[in-house]
Amino acid sequence: MEASKNEGDVAREIAGMLLKIGAIKINTENPFTWSSGWLSPIYCDNRLALSYPSIRNYIKKQLAEAVNFYFPIVEAIAGVATAGIPQGALVADLLGLPFLYIRSKAKGHGLENLVEGKVVREQRVVILEDLVSTGGSSLNAAEALKSNGMQVLGMVAIFSYGFEISNKNFRHAGVELHTLSNYQILIEEAINQNYVSGEKLALLQSWREAPDKWKP
Amino acid sequence: MEASKNEGDVAREIAGMLLKIGAIKINTENPFTWSSGWLSPIYCDNRLALSYPSIRNYIKKQLAEAVNFYFPIVEAIAGVATAGIPQGALVADLLGLPFLYIRSKAKGHGLENLVEGKVVREQRVVILEDLVSTGGSSLNAAEALKSNGMQVLGMVAIFSYGFEISNKNFRHAGVELHTLSNYQILIEEAINQNYVSGEKLALLQSWREAPDKWKP
């Protein structure tokens, strides 16, 4: 399986880059509070990678390759607001494809839409996302494109925590998701590179299994 | 003045492109309601240009040229959410510079910031904006960067209505603004190309002079 071996290399490479620029913050004693209210020992800010041109380029090329590999009949790229927009636009640019983006909610006046850009019915679109946690907002974006008559081929994201709830939500919505890197590889890299001590591994894994109930 | 002659050509070219793809909607009988509550005979949706790769490329190159010409000491590009993010990222990519973006408001939890990306104090940043109306949200973005210790060299936008209130707001904030195209050239092009009849010119000009009081 050459393809998956290569994917493993890319996943480790990206995890390593995100750790190196401080985009991954791990704090098991004083956890972060997510927008969902969940406590989490980890916070992942991929947006920092936008400020490092060589890392941004590497991610752009890997995203574009994944789009071409998994969805070769793609006709347009759509980015999920806000963090999926910049890399989405760069991928559309690299592939020479139309770009659209999906707001999290309409601005509530005039001609504002959830989907910005030119909606072409039946057009085959791949969604670009920054980070998938429960999949809620990512799948809302897919739903917005579908309800505008577009054909959603699937989604490519930089990173996913790999929560069971997310897998279930994507299966239920019938949306194929591919990610460049993921939580399991990230914590392995974090331990390999001494960003966190090996004894934290069990704790970090237990969080991923029940993030809604976890306490430090 | 070769530079300004060239700028006039670009301004007309972009206005023509936006008209051609239907990004400019003009309706003097049933005006649009803007988020500010203003009635307007015009609605400008530059985001449609993102779905036309050749137009998107043309705008990207013109934005990048304007950044280099007016702000040659630029060290980073910042896009204003939401519409300034995609073109901002493309310009940063073309120039090989770090990219950041500025939310309209913080998400209100955890580590979320108004400014996303790597904030480097004293770094010289140029703001990329889609469309300037009163300048309020654009200048809030400039303020957010300044309050993070960044050095705002100025702003480049695709389009401005050229309202007096906007000119005043930019002067007051001390932010240098350059735009690729503007309302005056747009309405001239719209009339030249028969998108709107010449007899509407006076009405369209009167709106621009007092957009807060205008009624159809």
Q: What is the 3-state secondary structure (H, E, C) of chain B?
A: CHHHHHHHHHHHHHHHHHHHCCCEEECCCCCEECCCCCEECEEECHHHHHHCHHHHHHHHHHHHHHHHHHCCCCCEEEEECCCHHHHHHHHHHHHCCCEEEECCCCCCCCCCCCEECCCCCCCEEEEEEEEECCCHHHHHHHHHHHHCCCEEEEEEEEEECCCHHHHHHHHHHCCCEEEEEEHHHHHHHHHHCCCCCHHHHHHHHHHHHCCCCCCC
Calculate how close chain B gets to A184, using CA atoms only, in Å: 23
The average confidence (pLDDT) of chain A is 92
Per-residue pLDDT tens digits for A67-89: 999 999 999 999 999 999 999 99
Q: Which residues contact B168 (CB under 8 A, 6 or more apart)?
A: none
The answer to whether residue B166 scores a pLDDT higher than 70 is yes
Say what the pLDDT of residue A16 is.
Answer: 96
Beta bridge partners of B172: none
Calculate how close chain B gets to A202, using CA atoms only, in Å: 24
Residues of A in contact with B56 (CB under 8 A): 93, 99
Say what the pLDDT of residue A112 is.
Answer: 54
Q: What is the rounded distance in angstroms from the CA atom of residue B90 to the CA atom of residue B141?
A: 19
Say what the pLDDT of residue A1 is.
Answer: 35
B108 confidence band (pLDDT: 50, 70, 90): low
Using alpha carbons only, give the angle B195, B200, B206 rounded to the nearest 5 degrees.
125
Beta bridge partners of A128: A79, A156
The answer to whether residue A4 scores a pLDDT higher than 70 is no
Please confirm whether the linkage preceding B82 is cis (ω < 30° from 0).
yes
A108 confidence band (pLDDT: 50, 70, 90): low
CB A152 within 8 A of CB A121: no
**Residue A173: helix, strand or coil by DSSP?**
helix
Higher pLDDT, A98 or B3: A98
Residue bearing tokens 């806000």: A82
Say what the pLDDT of residue A2 is.
Answer: 41
**The two three-digit tokens of residue A200, written as one number:** 């934290």
User: Between chains, do A25 and B111 touch, taking CB under 8 Å as contact?
Assistant: yes
Please name which of B45, B35, B83, B48 lies closest in space to residue B211, comparing C-alpha atoms: B35
User: Between chains, do A47 and B109 touch, taking CB under 8 Å as contact?
Assistant: no
Query: What number of other Cβ atoms are within 10 A of residue A197's Cβ?
Result: 10
Q: Which amino acid is at B115?
A: V
Q: Looking at chain B from residue 44 to 103, which residues have their Cβ under 8 Å from any Cβ of chain A?
A: 45, 47-48, 50-53, 56-57, 60, 76, 79, 81-83, 85-90, 92-93, 96-101, 103
The answer to whether residue A143 scores a pLDDT higher than 60 is yes
**The two three-digit tokens of residue B27, written as one number:** 């309706």
A106 confidence band (pLDDT: 50, 70, 90): low
Q: Is A38 on the interface with B (CB under 8 A)?
A: no
**The two three-digit tokens of residue B10, written as one number:** 């670009």
- Identify the weakest region by mean pLDDT among A27-31, B45-49, B111-115, B149-153: B111-115
What ipTM was assigned to the predicted interfaces of this complex? 0.93
Calculate how close chain B gets to A85, using CA atoms only, in Å: 6
**Residue A163: helix, strand or coil by DSSP?**
coil
A38 confidence band (pLDDT: 50, 70, 90): confident
